Amino acid sequence: MEQVFENKRDCCGCGACAHRCPDGAIAMEPDEEGFLYPVIRAERCMDCGLCQTICPFRKEDHWKNEQMPQFYVAKHRDGEVLRRSTSGGAFTALSDQVLDMGGAVYGAVFDSRFRVVHQRAPGRAGRDRMRFSKYVQSDLGNCFCQVEQDLRQGKPVLFTGTPCQNAGLRAAMGPLAEQGPLVCCDLICYGVPSPRVWEAYKQMLEKEQGAPLAEVSFRTKELPWSRSNSNRSFRYRTANQREGQADQRFYRLFFESGAILRPSCGQCPFASACRASDLTIADYWGIEKYAPEEYDPLGVSLVLTSTERGRRLLEQCPSLWTEARPAEESLAEQKRLHQPAELPENRPLFWDTLEKEGLEAACNAVLDPLE
């Protein structure tokens, strides 16, 4: 077999094929945009076809559940947890419960160079690094191998990631995903930006400020939690600065342009209310309209339960207040529950300019000037 996919739009980079390949013939390697894709080593491939059979993009049901989930508004009972969370602290409550059962939590963190990678956390210190949004496609590394080892030892696992990563994990684990103590938790994803652009952006900021980055944050709660405030700008601090500052260029490339999204995001089969996970967590946008008494300036979570396993874990979280809500509210507010991201026509222009002239010129090529 020459390749797993026919077009890059048909690969989300989940790595399930590489994990399940019985001959170790598949490696995940970055392309010119920085996204990971499976590359088949022809000399090892036995042409069994398993990689295509389990592929979440090729599988007819995409590893998704058939039934509609139940929708909940949720909020952590501890105000300090709310301050340190992206929205309402649902992830902290769910992961606390799994850790208290002697389990492990998997999620995205910044490494020492602010690259976004998936890691395993056996305790709260490692788990806390997974809080707050990271708008870059994470490198899963050997997480699937670690999850499999945990499950075979009977250790409870909470895996958090994008919908396609969760589908990839279910594909990679096979029957173990249902038989083992695994809870899959995804996010309502608006697409995954390029790791290469993220690296170029960091380098541009460091060059402009004349010092390496010391802190980065995609989401803060300096202003009251709301749709307009929460995704206003990226904030960072370099080693020669006392105070952090804001910059909008990466945000605009992600939310306004979409030119830096992975090609598969434009036809994502997981942009649906039917999920490939047990649980889904997100911001409860619009709660101030539908239930003003439930709004909190420190954040409010949306939680979807798609399986009995997910519902059981949610019910076991004493630190999380929840209340069932009509599905129509979030279906109206969350576009990615019913349609994928739109990739712009000028996407090739962005990448061509980035290659020839650098990130600043590429930003100017696809972004309108700010007034």
Q: So where are the chain's domains?
A: 8-54, 70-192+262-337, 195-260+341-366
* pLDDT of the residue at 347: 98
Report whether pLDDT(1) > 70. no
* pLDDT of the residue at 22: 94
Give the DSSP letter of residue 68. Answer: P
Closest CA to 58 of 2, 139, 3: 3
- Bridge partner list, 66: none
Cβ neighbours for 292, distance < 8 A, ≥ 6 positions apart: none
**pLDDT band at residue 63 using 50, 70 and 90 as cut-offs:** confident
List pLDDT tens digits, range 279-322: 999 999 999 999 999 999 999 999 999 999 999 999 999 999 99
The residue type at 324: A
Q: Map residue 187 onto helix, strand or coil.
A: strand
- The distance between the two most distant Cα atoms of the chain, rounded to a whole number of Å, is 63
Q: What angle do CA 30, 33, 37 make, to 5 degrees?
A: 35
List pLDDT tens digits, range 339-363: 999 999 999 999 999 999 999 999 9
* pLDDT of the residue at 275: 96
Tokens of 331: 């279906």
Separation of alpha carbons 83 and 89, rounded Å: 9
Fold adopted by 8-54: Alpha-Beta Plaits (3.30.70)
Tokens of 28: 């995940």
Other C-beta atoms lying within 10 Å of the C-beta of residue 367: 17
Most confident of 30-44, 56-70, 221-235: 30-44
List pLDDT tens digits, range 14-58: 999 999 999 999 999 999 999 999 999 999 999 999 999 999 998
Cβ–Cβ under 8 Å, residues 367 and 253: yes
